[in-house]
Structure 1
Amino acid sequence: MKPSLFETMAGWTHGIGLSDVPEQAVDVAKRAVLDCVGVTVAGTRSPIAPVVDRYVADTGDGPATVIGHERRTAVETAAFANGSIGHALDYDDCTGSLGGHPSVVVLPAALAVAEARTATGAELLTAYVVGFEVAAKLGRATNFVHYERGWHPTATLGVFGATAAAAKLLGLDADGIATALAIAASTAAGMKANFGTATKPLQVGRAAQNGVFAARLAAMGATANVDAFEHDQGFGQLFNGPGGYHAERAVSTLGVWDLIDPGLTVKQYPCCSSTHGVADAAISLRDEVPAPAAIRRVDIWTHPRRLKHTNRPAVSTGLEAKFSVQYVAARALSTGQVGLGDFSGDAIRDPEVVSLMRKVHAEPMPADRWGSDHFPAEVTVTLDDGRTLRTRVERPRGNGPELALTDAELGRKFDDCCRSGGLSPDTTAAVRTVLGTLETVDDLQELLAPLRTPDASAAGWPR
């Protein structure tokens, strides 16, 4: 009998070791872990951090670190907290095959289990790689139907990556991993209707938590239907509908490393990736604009799939602003940048930006201009003096290996995130050094202890 998708994924997950992973993929994975840790530190000062803090405070002690907390908690709780905080700023990485954010759902699950199991850095890195690849392969099997139906793939598909990573660290055999994936199928949830609210990152944290939950239940002997993806009342049919999914696309690409192709998108801007092409385009035009007040009109075109959840002409919260091409364009044209401080309550009420937003008009890009990757953004700025400025960005910086941020740029982003989250320069440098040689680390406390204990020199740590 032909093995099911979950059985195939499980066999591959069980058999992979770090030595089987191409050096290029390992390097990308290490960059991803660095970036994810950085944005999670920054996320400890996000608006949802107090909500997560209160949730963690209501749970018992345990073996797993919540970044920014001195007290450790249960493994599943830590996965939830770090996943939620890591996604709070929408500054974490993406990959095209998943149609979402892989690291922020896979790494928190892996990190929590790895710490509880006293795993090495190499074991953590291996688990991250298999989790990333499993989530990406599920994306290949279901997108873009899945995405366009309104599901949030980071949560609904990312849960399988979190499960694979946790199961790998728990030492499950192939049958156990397949069972864990089938359990995870019954926990999958997350919708785009909640983009622009605190629930977007919270549903990602829940997916990380559910990945640990599914793997632990399988390890304890729970059963599940390993055909739960292809079953006529299974994941594919329920989430995508008849004819809307293709398991063979996942199976046939095992061994094609998604970490390499399409690769990783490391964000330059702390907002929805569907706005990044607009940000790049608007920033490139900024020097030609005499002053924001000289702008008469701004026209934007992006792919309909991307515009659908980022077309917000007015915003009332920083979270909404992260999903507004109008706000991102206005901010970029006003100041020539889009940074961590640009999504606070005061920033989104900046009179100059609010005035400029009223002049921004967004339209879905016609199909003949989509390009092969569906990433292009076009921005036209009409000035009061009659001049028209136009530009098109095919893909934003940071998107994939060809446009990857340099090591120096990634390092600056990490340092900025850690500074924003309250880490001292010395602690930041120490953590960055550990992450740079993660595969050689024997004791993960070298990484986690500095992230768990607030710096006395860091004023205003939000705990």
Structure 2
Amino acid sequence: MADRGRIRRLAELAGGLVTVLHRIAARSLDAAATADAHALAAAGRHVLDTMGCVVSGASHPLAQRLLPLMPQTTNSWWDATALAGRWDLATVVEIESTLAHVDEFDPLHGAAAVAPGAVVVPAALSLGAAAGASGEQVARAVIAGYEAVIEAALDFGGPALYSTGWWPTALFGALGSAAASAVILGLDLDATTTALAHAATVLGGLLSADMLGDGHYLLCGRASAHGVWSAKAASAGLTASTSLLDGPARAALGPTPRITAPTSPGPHILSTSIKNWPCARPLHCALAALGELADEGLTLTPGSTVDIALPSAALHFVTNETNPRSPVEAAASAAVTVAGFLAGRAHDPGWYRESVHAGQSDVTVNIHADPRLDALFPAHWGAEVTVHARGDYGRRRVLVAPGDPDRPLSDQALLAKAAALLDTSAAAPSLRQLLHIAAEPNAAAVRAAFTTSVPVS
């Protein structure tokens, strides 16, 4: 532990003498090795939340189209969470990471603009279970994975990448999965750096300009599965350039400045949000504002108008589509989200899946960019909502949404969210095992509660 801490400090002191990938690898290993009880507890919260999203995602329409394309094998010994079938481990990770993000309900690091849970947790838990790891090893792997993907995204500008067509989660997700896998496999600093280098060789992931489509979510699964492969490749001795995030990536991604938004002290997992609503993150503060106005007595009625101001970066993917083509577009629609609020179903993933009618309401919704919110972004993904309702008027600006690090969901609220996604009781032992995974001796036993059979060696 002390050696890794010295390695990280030496790497930071050396500055330009080490590559970006080397620095990220050192930081990730150090975060995992030095994680205290607070960080390990945070890892458990993110494992619970992400796996709840995976189970819920198994019933998403995308899953019905995806699974026939994922070849099963009769001699495989691995099941995907909440799905009947047998695949190899890499395919399971790809499936679960895709499903984790498909409802837009998984964790998000706002300043980095990445969804780390989807690309890290399924890889850490599945590989950890296969390797006979303890729950604490999985928790430390999750911390390392979050550190890698978030640090890389911060280094390249986070949401600034939206303007050049890049999606940070797809760009750097494989690095998170690779770092988590490296911890499970017990790789040293040099091998972990090589694992991240392999992960970076296929760097890419464009943000759609017209419709997100299923392809947007498939990128999560591909990134996560490649990260697992990358760690195995490094373990097998395969080499790769460790300077890919220096000259080559800078040339490809453009001169985006590093994000210096304030984050919580300690590992990046502590500054990562857990979502309170299953829709695009920029709309969360808008929903919070509507809730606060409603609590003060302002009632939306037929003919009301709702104006939503957002940071301009949010408008790269948030729309005002009243007739979305699919649940994918529904989750990014302000009209659908406001209609869900009116129907009392904004927390329900099923609302956004019922996208044929979801955006149709008697309320007019407008969205626009606000330079004042731009000045606070990406530290705050805020929103200002103005409501005109039958002569009544209300305006509310919200900068911190429920689930953000400065406004965290309680363990009880998190268990309730997971229970709703899994259609079970918040007191279910399996949920508490995930929440407190660092105290569990056997990761495979914890994971087996959510699969159709127990993996065997």
1:98 to partner: Cα distance: 2.5
Q: Give distance in 2, aligned partners of 1:225 and 1:108.
A: 27
Partner AA of 2:435 in structure 1:
G
Q: SS at the partner of 2:279?
A: coil
Q: SS at the partner of 2:76?
A: strand
Contact 1:63 1:116 in 2 (8 A): no
Q: Structure 1 310/448 Cα, relative in aligned 2: closer, same or farther at 3 Å?
A: same
Contact 1:4 1:227 in 2 (8 A): yes
Of 410-419 and 326-335, more deviation after overlay is shown by: 326-335
Partner AA of 2:400 in structure 1:
R
Q: Choose from 216, 223, 226 the match for 1:210.
A: 226
Q: Deviations over 1:51-101 (max 9, x none)?
A: 332233445643444102354422211110110111111110111243121
Q: SS at the partner of 2:284?
A: helix
Q: Choose from 139, 154, 163 the match for 1:125.
A: 139
Of 198-207 and 172-181, more deviation after overlay is shown by: 172-181
* 1:403 matched residue in structure 2: 407
* 2:293 matched residue in structure 1: 285
* 1:365 matched residue in structure 2: 370
Partner AA of 2:102 in structure 1:
A
Contact 1:99 1:143 in 2 (8 A): no
| Long gaps (5+) in structure 1 | 455-463
Q: SS at the partner of 1:225?
A: coil
1:328 to partner: Cα distance: 1.0
Residue 312 of structure 1 pairs with residue 328 of structure 2: no
Q: Structure 1 75/334 Cα, relative in aligned 2: closer, same or farther at 3 Å?
A: closer
Residue 76 of structure 1 pairs with residue 90 of structure 2: yes
* 1:458 matched residue in structure 2: none
Q: Choose from 318, 326, 333 the match for 1:324.
A: 333
Q: Deviations over 1:117-151 (max 9, x none)?
A: 11111111111111111111112201143233221
Q: SS at the partner of 1:382?
A: strand
Q: Structure 1 311/437 Cα, relative in aligned 2: closer, same or farther at 3 Å?
A: closer
Contact 2:434 2:446 in 1 (8 A): yes
Of 313-322 and 41-50, more deviation after overlay is shown by: 313-322
1:167 to partner: Cα distance: 1.7
* 1:432 matched residue in structure 2: 431
Q: Choose from 264, 271, 285 the match for 2:279.
A: 271
Partner AA of 1:173 in structure 2:
D
* 1:459 matched residue in structure 2: none
Q: Percent identity?
A: 25
Q: Give distance in 1, aligned partners of 2:345 and 2:101.
A: 25
Q: Give distance in 2, aligned partners of 1:210 and 1:27.
A: 27
Q: Deviations over 1:159-208 (max 9, x none)?
A: 11111111221222222111111111112222220764212221101110
Q: SS at the partner of 1:128?
A: helix
Q: Choose from 331, 340, 344 the match for 2:349.
A: 340
What does residue range 158-169 of structure 1 map to in structure 2 within 5 Å?
158-169=173-184
Partner AA of 1:176 in structure 2:
A
* 1:390 matched residue in structure 2: 395
Q: Give distance in 2, aligned partners of 1:369 and 1:180.
A: 36
Q: Give distance in 2, aligned partners of 1:433 and 1:94.
A: 22
Q: Give distance in 2, aligned partners of 1:406 and 1:66.
A: 28
Residue 302 of structure 1 pairs with residue 316 of structure 2: no
* 2:19 matched residue in structure 1: 4
Contact 2:58 2:83 in 1 (8 A): no
Q: Structure 1 215/278 Cα, relative in aligned 2: closer, same or farther at 3 Å?
A: same
Q: Give distance in 2, aligned partners of 1:78 and 1:364.
A: 40
1:292 to partner: Cα distance: 2.6
Residue 184 of structure 1 pairs with residue 199 of structure 2: yes
Q: Give distance in 1, aligned partners of 2:222 and 2:345.
A: 36
Q: Give distance in 1, aligned partners of 2:100 and 2:216.
A: 11
Q: SS at the partner of 1:148?
A: helix
* 2:385 matched residue in structure 1: 379
Q: Structure 1 224/86 Cα, relative in aligned 2: closer, same or farther at 3 Å?
A: same
* 1:448 matched residue in structure 2: 447
What does residue range 35-50 of structure 1 map to in structure 2 within 5 Å?
35-50=49-64
Q: Give distance in 2, aligned partners of 1:3 and 1:35.
A: 35
| Long gaps (5+) in structure 2 | 1-15
Q: Structure 1 282/168 Cα, relative in aligned 2: closer, same or farther at 3 Å?
A: same
Q: Structure 1 129/331 Cα, relative in aligned 2: closer, same or farther at 3 Å?
A: same
Q: Structure 1 16/306 Cα, relative in aligned 2: closer, same or farther at 3 Å?
A: closer
Q: CA RMSD in A?
A: 2.7
Contact 1:286 1:336 in 2 (8 A): no
Q: Give distance in 2, aligned partners of 1:151 and 1:69.
A: 31
Q: SS at the partner of 2:306?
A: strand
Partner AA of 1:89 in structure 2:
D
Q: Give distance in 2, aligned partners of 1:313 and 1:254.
A: 35
Q: SS at the partner of 1:157?
A: helix
1:45 to partner: Cα distance: 0.7
Q: SS at the partner of 1:198?
A: helix
1:332 to partner: Cα distance: 1.5
Q: Give distance in 1, aligned partners of 2:435 and 2:321.
A: 42
1:299 to partner: Cα distance: 1.3
1:246 to partner: Cα distance: 5.0
Of 408-417 and 43-52, more deviation after overlay is shown by: 43-52
Contact 1:318 1:343 in 2 (8 A): yes
Q: Structure 1 120/8 Cα, relative in aligned 2: closer, same or farther at 3 Å?
A: same
Q: SS at the partner of 1:363?
A: strand
Q: SS at the partner of 2:332?
A: coil
Q: Give distance in 2, aligned partners of 1:24 and 1:394.
A: 25
1:343 to partner: Cα distance: 1.2
Q: Deviations over 1:327-359 (max 9, x none)?
A: 2123323537442221133x6515xx51335x1
Q: Give distance in 2, aligned partners of 1:440 and 1:128.
A: 15
* 1:461 matched residue in structure 2: none
Q: Structure 1 63/406 Cα, relative in aligned 2: closer, same or farther at 3 Å?
A: same
Q: Give distance in 1, aligned partners of 2:138 and 2:208.
A: 33
Partner AA of 2:342 in structure 1:
L
Q: Structure 1 311/17 Cα, relative in aligned 2: closer, same or farther at 3 Å?
A: closer
Q: Structure 1 389/15 Cα, relative in aligned 2: closer, same or farther at 3 Å?
A: closer
